[in-house]
Amino acid sequence: MNNLIIGRYVPGTSLIHRMDPRAKLLLVFIFVIIVFLANNVWGYLSLAIFTLSVVLLTRIPVTFILKGLKPIIWIIAFTMVFHVFLTKEGTLLFELGFIQVYEEGIIQAIFISLRFLFLITITTLLTLTTTPIAVTDGMETLFGPFKKIGVPVHELALMMSISLRFIPTLMQETDKIMKAQSARGADFTVGPLKERVKALVPLLVPLFISAFKRAEELATAMESRGYKGGEGRTKYRLLKWQMKDTALMLVLAALTFILFLIRT
């Protein structure tokens, strides 16, 4: 759990770190849409080049990112197996009893798995290179027009930022509780599935208590500092759109055009 990087911020001075959070949020939103435009080898190769380029621009070690994505690999592997055995299109390649593997199933499994990997990598890079406060400011600015129709943009952005901030904290808390329970003789890795689920109860109860306690402490701290919502609040950090932000958005626009061009 110490290797989990979702929601964790890694300080740095790279180009991606110094970008406007609004540009990074737009990049993620647009990338989530255009990743579905790829439907052939060249399209996924273009996405792979773009994703790898962004990873290298962050100057965060690739091994660190891969180690943090290990828990997600199991989901991607399950998705791949699911498509291999359930897609019944194309040429039949292998058959053993009721198990049938088709050419289109393998292709779809690879493409869908790559799509998941690209999406998770890009969204993870957002939190790795952007502080929770910057994410809040960026989201609040981007969704500012929705305030006119009564949407509590500031509160929603703050809730999402706090959620991202406390993911690694809760993971560390879970790790501590597991070690404490193991020291008392609990074992979460052996026995039937039913016994493993029972062994998780002593883990979940203190975890929920700790989460509620942290939430109460955070609410008390915000109230003691005079927090009363976003109405009438001024900003200490002013966001500034720079040339590098425009350049990255142009690169993303070029990628979108290429995906449309080579789409079959």
| CA–CA gap between residue 54 and residue 48 (Å, rounded) | 10
Rg, C-alpha atoms of the chain: 22
Main-chain phi, psi angles of 238, to 5 degrees: -100, 130
| CA–CA gap between residue 17 and residue 243 (Å, rounded) | 14
* Stated pTM of the model: 0.73
Main-chain phi, psi angles of 101, to 5 degrees: -115, 125
pLDDT digits (tens, 9 = 90+) for 133-148: 888 788 878 877 777 7
Per-residue pLDDT of the chain (264 residues), as tens digits, is: 556 666 678 888 888 988 998 899 999 999 999 998 888 888 889 999 999 999 999 988 888 888 777 777 778 888 888 777 777 777 777 777 667 777 777 888 888 888 888 988 898 888 889 887 888 788 878 877 777 787 777 778 778 777 777 777 777 787 787 777 777 776 666 666 666 667 677 777 888 888 888 888 888 888 887 777 666 666 667 788 889 899 989 999 999 999 988 887
Q: Are strands 99-102 and 92-96 parallel, antiparallel or unpaired?
A: antiparallel
Beta bridge partners of 96: 99
Orientation of helix 21-34 relative to helix 132-142, angle to 10°: 70
Q: How far is CA 144 from CA 30, 133, 155, 157, 228, in A?
A: 18, 16, 12, 10, 18
Residue spans per domain, the chain: 1-130+234-264, 154-233
